[in-house]
Amino acid sequence: MSSVIVVGTQWGDEGKGKIVDLYAEDADAVVRFQGGNNAGHTIVVQGKQTILHLIPSGILHNYKTCMLGNGMVIDPRVLIEEIDYLKKENAFPPNTKLVISDKAHVIMPYHRRVDAAREAAKGAGKIGTTQRGIGPAYEDKVSRVGIRICDLLDSEVLTEKIKRNVEEKNFYLTKLYGEQPIDEKPILDEYMGYADVLRPHVADISLLLDVAIRQKKKILFEGAQGCHLDVDYGTYPFVTSSNTVAGNACCGAGVGPTKIDSVVGIVKAYTTRVGSGPFVTELNDEIGQRIQSVGQEFGATTGRKRRCGWLDMVLVRQSVRVSGITGMAITKLDVLTGIDKLKICVGYRTDKGEEFTKSVPADLKVFERCQPVYMELDGWTEDINTAKRLEDLPRNTRRYVDTLENLCGVKVVLVSVGADRNETIVTENPFRR
């Protein structure tokens, strides 16, 4: 198998970074295809933690090509900081290449300003965005006024586009939000400087991937966020501004759907969410707090506490369907150790008799009326961090894993029992099938 997509099946932070790093060993190229530095992907190797926001999670391996796809929105300041951070930590191997799509869109300071101003204006109804300018940057892309990486490299185009955009954004900032205007000159100076640093990395990644696929190279596509933050299939409007489902790997990297072999969905053994929006299985009790503290559920990007709750298979089933998931990687199973009774949500019910088992309601008002229908399983107390095979897991842990497999009809290809790269049970490697 040569092309594998990894996506989150919940509301992000499922452990995609860990799994992508692990699979990257077998890949030739690792490609991010959407999102920006709203993502925070954590890798732990022999106790050393690396958090990535833009650079694909294959970067710690030598002899790889790490690509930032055209579907991404890139804040050049953050990207350059990330490159410097990796180099300082000796975590940017000499023979690994970083390639940035010439068609990716650029996050500008006015995007961050509009993101923050809009959230402030929403008050209690805010989305709880990461305030990295993601939404406003995608808006500019869709309304065809965005600045792309290729524009950044052309000072004439850049000057003209910044001028026009600053005029428009200043109208929003001052007239709509009562904020101070933004000055175009410092933006221009700053972004001209970025152009020179990034230029050597810029290319048409669709062409490079085409050549690589013809040469039977192995390509790993790394999703950001999760299927329920998808702008179409997520809990709209409490979503991010890109398509996070597997199908967007094709658009966001310039590869046809016929080139994809398998899709691995990452399922955290419980559910978390950062920011606002419906969360049927949320636990506002001691168990929720326990999961939050044992699982160290703090946002890798904003440091915010993640909301925690039981595993919700309605979410997972929808993700399996919408992303065409062929294998499931269960993560953070160790966090559930020591909880006496474990609940898994198998459906939602409302006071009006509506039922949802495979698909979440589109209407937020209906979503808010949904109550979870749970099945209950016995927990386990044994440490599972050192398990290397499914057979090493306690009987009740095995039962939890088997139940997930049965509830969504997708085979388990990996079980993660700790944050470190080696705390993993691989039952089927998608590149070695």
The sign one gets for the Cα dihedral 233, 239, 243, 249 is negative
Q: Which residues are bridge partners to 328 per DSSP?
A: 265, 412
Q: Are 99 and 29 in contact (CB under 8 A)?
A: no
Q: What is the DSSP letter of 352?
A: T
Which is nearer to Mg ion, 14 or 184 (by Cβ)?
Answer: 14
SS3 42: strand
Q: Which letter, b or e, does each residue of 354-387 get, where b requires 16 or more Cβ atoms within 10 Å of its Cβ?
A: eebeeebbeeeebbebbebbbeebebbeeebeeb
Omega cis (within 30) before 237: yes
Task: Check residue 8 for interaction with ligand GDP (CB under 6 A).
Answer: yes
Query: DSSP per residue over 372-432, as a string?
Result: EEEEEEE---S--TT--SGGGS-HHHHHHHHHHHHHHT--EEEEE-SSBTTSEEES--TT-
Q: Which residues are bridge partners to 271 per DSSP?
A: 309
Which is nearer to ligand GDP, 11 or 348 (by Cβ)?
Answer: 11
Task: Check residue 12 for interaction with ligand IMO (CB under 6 A).
Answer: yes
- The distance of closest approach from Cβ of residue 56 to ligand GDP in the complex, given in angstroms and rounded to an integer, is 11
Task: Check residue 416 for interaction with ligand GDP (CB under 6 A).
Answer: yes
Q: One of 28, 41, 111, 115 is an active-site residue; which one?
A: 41
**CA–CA distance, 254 with 71 (Å, rounded to integer):** 9
Q: One of 13, 21, 75, 151 is an active-site residue; which one?
A: 13
Task: Check residue 181 for interaction with ligand IMO (CB under 6 A).
Answer: no
Task: Check residue 404 for interaction with ligand GDP (CB under 6 A).
Answer: no
Q: Are 359 and 315 in contact (CB under 8 A)?
A: no
- Of 134, 220, 250, 333, which one interacts with ligand IMO (CB under 6 A)? 134
Sole window of 94-102, 243-251, 319-327, 417-425 interacting with ligand GDP (rule: CB under 6 A): 417-425
List the x/- string, 214-233, binding to ligand IMO by CB under 6 A: ----------xxx--x----
- Of 39, 158, 209, 370, which one interacts with ligand IMO (CB under 6 A)? 39
41 is annotated as an active-site residue: yes
Residue type, 93: P
Size of the site for Mg ion (CB under 5 A): 3
- The distance of closest approach from Cβ of residue 209 to ligand IMO in the complex, given in angstroms and rounded to an integer, is 21
61 is annotated as an active-site residue: no
Task: List binders of ligand IMO among 114-133 (CB under 6 A).
Answer: 127-130, 132
Which residues of this protein are in contact with ligand IMO, per CB under 6 A? 8, 11-13, 38-41, 127-130, 132, 134-135, 224-226, 229, 240-241, 274-275, 300
By annotation, the residues acting in catalysis are 13, 41
